[in-house]
Amino acid sequence: MSCTRNSVVLVALGLLLTYVPFQAMGATSSLQAASAKNKTKLAVCAPVKALTKSCSSKAGPTALMDQICSELLAPAKAMADSKDPSKLHYGCGVATAAQVEKLSSSLAALEPRVAAAAAQASSSQATLAQGQNQTAALSAGVTALKAAVAALAAQVAGAQQQQLAGSANTSDITQKIAALSATRAQTAQQLASLAAANQTTAQGIAALKAASQQCTCGLELAVVNATVAAVQSAQAAGAVDISSVNATAESAKAAVATGSAAIASVNASIATLAANLPTINVTGLVTLSALSSIDAATLNGVPAAQFLRNRIVLYSASSTTLAATLGGRSGADAKCVAPTSIGRPAGLVQARAFLGVAAGDSIANLPPLYGIPIGMPIESASGQVVAADFAALSGGSLAVSLEAAGVLPTGSVWWSGSNPDGSLATSAGVPFTCVGWTDGSASRVGVVGTSGATTGRLVNSASTRACNLAAHLLCLAF
């Protein structure tokens, strides 16, 4: 039969028509199986449309096309050939002319809808990209805002530390707050713009979803939806960050206001104090007559005028002589502050033994070593000037002898260990100091000074004394 002779052509035509659901009968089962297995995309709509148009108009380009159309549209029953009654035709019954025409119209209507859906998807993707860019800008704005708030908080803390001194500068902090407010306003505008873009994107997505029945866009929609959800999540996080920044900024403003008030109060107090200072009569607080009225007994018997002024006093560490075993520099200094020392004035807290111990610790080196003033007169405990200054004392140029000043008894000697110029006394490199004032044997000697001299013999009597003998120890209090 004709349907069998043209089976190859019908299979090919069936592959082209598999996208549309036909009501197949008889021999169409093989066509439907092939259609389900190899579903064609919408790109075949143009050739199918051309073929169905040719079939419905009976204007095929060849006789074979006319025969194919005739067999397709013929009912599925035996009919005699109009040209040769001895032949029977058995139509395929694939579709009626009305069904073919309906298919053509449906395909023609579907094409613009698919194109519109593709355009909507492209527009939504562009809007989505713009939203992502705005979200990135918003995140950068929020980061900058956080940094500005952190810097402001650090300045506020510094201002609070400066409040007590009254030196905090609030103008810079005020400028920082103004800049922070401007940045915050700009960020809010970006957030509003992003929200509008999100709304536009949502409308485009809604329209695209409404048209999703006309095309296979499920995967594309899923990707778009996921990206939009990520943008909305980032927007929500940005809103939370902005809220936190706003709270921090308000807190900083409050702290600055409090600090400014405290600074203003301190400045006012300082101004009041400065205004009152000229009215205080300081001269009436301390006068010479007031000093003379102070009870001398409370100052250990020393008149107030002498107690309050700087002095250098030369005195004896003991009323008796001492052995040469003084205990070195530290031991000799300790004897100068012992309760047995006589003539040590009250009010002078520092005291040193007036003798040479070593080359680097001679009488001449006492001022730089122990801070003894060099430009002040040297006095006795009673206030009599013994020497004009330390150089005169150590060099043996006295105003009066130590006997006359009451420092030492008449005809006495004192351990010095020094030459007339105050340097350490030695012989053949061996110091005359009883081994640094630690050895009391008779085989050792130490240099002594005399109490009655007013020249170089004060510190060097030109003779030595055996270390097993005793002599006085002089001290300086300052």
Question: What is the Cβ-side half-sphere exposure of residue 454, based on CA atoms within 13 angstroms?
Answer: 11
d(CA 40, CA 20): 10
Question: Mean pLDDT throughout 311-327?
Answer: 93
Rounded CA separation 248/256 (Å): 12
**What's the CATH class of domain 306-477?**
alpha beta
Say whether pLDDT at 175 is over 90.
no
**Residue 22 confidence (pLDDT):** 36
The band of 345, judged by pLDDT with boundaries at 50, 70 and 90, is confident
CA 284, CA 397: separation in Å to the nearest integer? 43
pLDDT tens for residues 215-256? 455 565 566 566 667 666 766 776 676 777 677 767 777 777
Task: Convert 299-332 to b/e letters by CB count within 10 Å (16 or more is b).
Answer: eeebebebbeeebbbbbbbeeebbebbbebbeeb
> Tell me, what's the pLDDT at 246?
73
Beta bridge partners of 48: none
**Rounded CA gap, 309 and 306, in Å?**
6
Q: Which long-range contacts (CB under 8 A, 24 or more apart) does 254-260 make?
A: 255/156, 255/160, 256/156, 256/159, 256/170, 256/173, 256/174, 256/177, 259/156, 259/159, 259/160, 259/163, 259/168, 259/170, 260/168, 260/170
Spatial separation of the C-alpha atoms in residues 114 and 92, rounded to whole Å: 33
Residue 473 has pLDDT above 80, yes or no: yes
pLDDT at 332 over 80: yes
Contacts of 322 (CB under 8 A, 6+ apart): 335, 415, 470, 471, 472, 473
pLDDT tens digits, 433-472? 999 999 999 999 999 998 888 887 777 777 789 999 999 9
Q: Cα–Cα distance between 415 and 8 in angstroms, integer?
A: 144
pLDDT band at 412 (very low <50, low <70, confident <90, very high): very high
pLDDT at residue number 446: 95
CA distances from 267 to 44, 167, 254, 287 (A): 90, 9, 20, 34
Question: What's the whole-number mean pLDDT along residues 373-388?
Answer: 91
Instruction: Give the mean model confidence (pLDDT) for residues 97-126.
Output: 65
Q: Count the helix, strand and coil residues of the chain and give each as a percent rounded to the nearest 5.
A: 55, 10, 35
Domain-by-domain residue ranges, the chain?
2-95, 119-208+218-271, 306-477
For residues 470 and 183, the model is more confident at 470
Distance from C-alpha of 227 to C-alpha of 87, rounded to nearest angstrom: 67
- Tally DSSP H helices, then E strands, for the chain: 14, 14
Phi, psi of 445 (to 5 degrees): -130, 160
d(CA 300, CA 477): 16
User: Strand 312-316 vs strand 378-379: parallel, antiparallel, or unpaired?
Assistant: parallel
pLDDT-based confidence at residue 45 (cuts at 50, 70, 90): very low
| Greatest Cα-to-Cα distance within the chain, rounded to the nearest angstrom | 181
* pLDDT, greater one: 171 or 13: 171
Question: Sorting pLDDT into bands at 50, 70 and 90, what band is 189?
Answer: confident
Whether residue 212 has pLDDT greater than 60: no
For 278-327, where are the alpha helices, taking DSSP H only? 288-292, 304-308
Q: What is the pTM of this model?
A: 0.39
CA distances from 224 to 216, 296, 304, 388 (A): 14, 101, 98, 103
Between 375 and 134, name the one with better pLDDT: 375
* Rounded Cα distance, 20 and 18, in Å: 6
DSSP 115-150: HHHHHHHHHHHHHHHHHHHHHHHHHHHHHHHHHHHH
SS3 of residue 406 by DSSP: coil
Q: Which pLDDT score is estimated for 207?
A: 63
Which segment of 160-174, 181-195, 267-281 scores lowest on mean pLDDT?
160-174
Sequence-ordered list of residues with C-beta below 8 angstroms from that of 295, at least 6 positions apart, any chain: none
User: Which pLDDT score is estimated for 218?
Assistant: 58
